[in-house]
Amino acid sequence: MFKANDMVVDITMGIVFLIGAFYGFLMFFDPSFTMTRYATGAEYDVGTITVFTIWLGMFNLGFIAGIIYMGYRGLDRAFFAYAIPLFILNLIWQVPIAQDSGNYVGIVMVSVSLAALLIARSRSGFGSPFSIPKADQMWGVSDNPTKVFLWLGLIGQSLNIIIFAVDPGNLINNTEFLVMSERAQHFSLVMPFLSVAWVITLLYQLRAGLSMTMVVVGTVISTIWFVLAINYLLASGGTGGGNPLLAGTITLNFIGTWVIFLRNQANF
């Protein structure tokens, strides 16, 4: 498994998978369970927190899809370039919630996952994380549509970080089904944090070449996100309002990841 011939790698990656799967399915299919474990009695909008909890569960499902793919194809250095920063940021995000609620289970689980990832990375044989191999061309592919969508992805994720830095309340305030509150604002941090992780791994792939593992992660996430958006549109009868920028981002992500996947999967 993982083509590492190392039981420690198998065990540590298995731990990361189990924790990611547990939280992914729990947050996506039963967000109320997670919310009740971290409730403090403070006033906050339940509907908005539910949306961000489901989104976080969706990203966890994409994360474990990448681990499953690596289980068959072998460890991928780009995955660690994405996962390790993501877990560090997740740990930072967890601290205020744990302090408010007195529930430190999330911090423990994220810390265990991060430690397991670092152990697996150190035993992977990839060498220094700062010594990045260089592909023979940008993105390591010659397919122009692939390059276009990868550049759009990098630009889009970077803009998301910039928009949040300039106007932290932009996403909530410009989306009709989201309501601003102090807790909702904190939960919305998951979006720029995820964008930071994506920018790091996209920059890595810009130099080292396309990672099919990360293509799988992105395709799973964008597909679930697109289905959720269509479901919301149908449930609201097309009159539920929304955020045009968010809708455009979801649609472009869906199209882009599938174009990249279909045009490159035969080469990996």
Predicted local distance difference test score (pLDDT) of residue 41? 46
Residue 45 belongs to a domain: yes
Residue 1 belongs to a domain: no
pLDDT in tens, 194-216: 999 999 999 999 999 999 999 99
Residue 154 has pLDDT above 80, yes or no: yes
Cβ proximity of 104 and 98 under 8 Å? yes
Predicted local distance difference test score (pLDDT) of residue 238? 55
Residue 182 belongs to a domain: yes
pLDDT in tens, 25-37: 999 998 887 777 6
Domain that holds residue 189: 7-125+137-267
pLDDT in tens, 223-233: 999 998 888 77
Residue 94 belongs to a domain: yes
Residue 22 belongs to a domain: yes
Cβ proximity of 139 and 150 under 8 Å? yes
> CA 228, CA 235: separation in Å to the nearest integer?
10
Cβ proximity of 37 and 199 under 8 Å? no
Residue 130 belongs to a domain: no
Q: At 245, phi and psi to the nearest 5?
A: -65, -40
pLDDT in tens, 81-105: 999 999 999 999 888 888 877 778 8
Which range is least confidently modeled, 50-54, 71-75, 94-98, 191-195?
Answer: 94-98
Domain count of the chain?
1
> CA 25, CA 3: separation in Å to the nearest integer?
27
